[in-house]
Amino acid sequence: MAVHSTTLREPLHHMEAPSARDMRRHRRLPLSLAGRFMRADRNEFTCQLKNISVGGAAVASSHAPDIGERVVAYFDHLGGIEGVVVRHMPEGFAFAFKVTEYKREKLAAQIMWLVNRGDFPEEAGRLHERIGTRGRRTTLRVEDVIIDVELLDLSASGASIGTPARPPLGSFVVAGKTRAIVRRHHEHGIGVQFLTLQSPEALHDSFP
């Protein structure tokens, strides 16, 4: 299968993320993730994420950094996030993120997927009717590259894509016009899971 890669005229991180708009409407979302944080003196301590937005997070920890202190927190599924401590709480502290706009949009997508992942169990594709689409062509955006791929099948929650490309599991891509996360590799390509369930109309628009 031929793969045609071209550099995007507009990088992926310049695209407006729908999930970012949701995050602005819902400033804090409850999300429990194990993690750890590093203080300015490079000492590390365990913590537990309690809630999060694209602007900051509250964590539970027996160690509270000073107000105004820079910290770097690492959470399962989110990776490292740098920020500044803005307040103390009885069970821990809150910190405001100091990240680039690209990182903020990526965080929005990751957070919304994690919050909604109960709607997308590992075998989600089996819960939603799959439409055979073998032979149809679409595009896959990986970072700043567009790849011409085959759409093998499609459902409200995800798609199977024929391609020799193997983006890492858990990485974010755009299939057609829909943001998705890579959930599996298979013999013919990859399986992706959409960040939100798609209506028939949305699928038709994304994969004309």
Domains and CATH numbers, the chain: 14-119 (2.40.10.220), 121-206 (2.40.10.220)
Element (H, E) at 28: none
Residue 33: pLDDT over 80 = yes
Residue with tokens 């071209």: 6
**pLDDT tens-digit series, residues 152-208:** 988 888 899 999 999 988 888 999 999 888 888 999 999 998 877 787 888 888 887
Both tokens of 106, joined, read 């990526």
* ∠ CA 131-206-137, rounded to 5°: 65
Instruction: Name the band, by pLDDT with cuts 50, 70 and 90, for residue 130.
Output: low
Residue 17: pLDDT over 60 = no
What value does the mean pLDDT take over residues 130-140?
78
In this prediction the pTM is 0.51
- The one-letter amino acid at 170: G
What is the pLDDT at residue 58? 95
Instruction: Name the band, by pLDDT with cuts 50, 70 and 90, for residue 117.
Output: low
CA distance 9 to 75: 33
Residue 124: pLDDT over 80 = no
Residue 43: pLDDT over 70 = yes
CA distance 199 to 157: 9
- Mean pLDDT, rounded, of the chain: 79
